[in-house]
Amino acid sequence: MLAYYPPYHSKYNPVERAWGVLEQHWNGDILDSQEAVLGFAQGMTWKGNNHCVTLVEEIYETGKKVEKKVMEEDEKMIDRAKGTGKWFVEINPQNCTGALEMGIKV
């Protein structure tokens, strides 16, 4: 079972809860360079753990859409848990044959 949470649901999502810790860590300092941002993020600890922080320099392209045929095959692989909307899913390998035939890596 895979659970994922909608954006900004920090009460449930530990990744988003870390943002508040990071804000306290930089304590109002001016983040005026990539080095400053990376330095604060790399020096932060949360629940006693340091985090792996790297700069992603790839351009994130917007406006890309999954082809309808591909999305239909993806949806066949996913069983959604009743009563939880789209946030809890189970991926059943037995349902992946269509994706394999299309050359999609699963």
Residue pLDDT, tens place only, 16-72: 677 778 888 888 888 899 999 888 888 888 778 777 888 888 887 888 888 898 888
Residue spans of beta strands (DSSP E) within 1-106:
2-3, 45-46, 49-50, 78-80, 88-91
The tens digit of pLDDT for each residue in 67-91 reads 898 888 777 778 877 776 667 777 7
Question: What is the CA 11 to chain-centroid distance, rounded?
Answer: 16
The domain ranges of the chain are: 2-50, 68-101
Mean pLDDT on 86-98:
71
Give the pTM. 0.45
Q: What is the pLDDT of residue 13?
A: 64
